[in-house]
Amino acid sequence: MDKTGNTVGSSTYQRIKRDIIFGNLAPASKLKLDALRERYSASMSTLRETLSRLSSEGFVSSEEQRGFFVTAVSQKDLIEISNLRILLECHAARLSIQNGDTDWEGNLVAAHHKLHLMEQRMLAGDTSLKEDWKRYDWEFHLAMIEACGSGNLLSLHSILYDKYLRYQMLVLTYRGQEAVDEHREMFEAALARQADKAAEILQIHIEKGLEHTLAAM
């Protein structure tokens, strides 16, 4: 495939995945190729390749003779995703805090600053930028673990985080000051190179987010 084809395929993948995560393509809904071709202005071959890729990541399911569907949601699945996220992200955070250099610290400071500013807007009642808020949240969590030294770990975590985010966006309600405090405490522990403390706060943060989302489902 040429460079233009790769760009189109990547764009289609990102757009469909985003629409699944943010609920624009509803859980368990059928993904009809003709409708997708019109919606995303993509060829049939690009769509099939994209859906197969999303299927391998768990965002789409394929059924023989029936086609492609957006993966359904369940409380059991969310609990499993959260437990796996704790396992991977807490391990990655410990490694990253132990290994991180000055550039890592600078990226972490910048990521927390952006997230904190957005959280203050949310606390003030402005919920108009939910997607930006979740992007800054992702950038902060990624900055925490980015120096872990394992590309495979970062790749697996990225897929899990997106699956977790999908559930949050389906039932999104803001946890408020409690989540803000957890981010700040995690951030301060990381800068102080207190790896175990940061990982402990991170686990609590994910567990409380799970409880909050389960209660809203």
Q: What is the pLDDT of residue 128?
A: 81
As given in the structure block, the two tokens for residue 137 are 């949240």
Q: What is the pLDDT of residues 10-30, one digit of tens each?
A: 689 999 999 999 889 999 999
Q: What is the pLDDT of residue 29?
A: 95
Q: What's the start-to-end Cα distance of the chain, in Å?
A: 42
Burial class of residue 194 (count of CB atoms within 10 Å of its CB; 0-12, 13-18, 19+) = middle
- Model confidence at 1, pLDDT cuts 50, 70, 90, reads very low
- Whole-number Cα distances in Å, 112 to 8, 13, 89, 123, 168: 33, 28, 17, 16, 20
Task: State pTM to two decimals.
Answer: 0.87
Distance CA 17, CA 36 (A): 13
Element (H, E) at 166: helix 151-170
- Asked if the model's pLDDT at residue 3 lies above 60, the reply is no
Q: What is the pLDDT of residue 91?
A: 98
Q: What is the pLDDT of residues 101-122, one digit of tens each?
A: 999 999 999 999 999 999 999 8
- Asked if the model's pLDDT at residue 46 lies above 70, the reply is yes
Distance CA 19, CA 29 (A): 12
Q: What is the pLDDT of residue 7?
A: 56
Q: Do 160 and 88 touch, CB atoms closer than 8 A?
A: yes
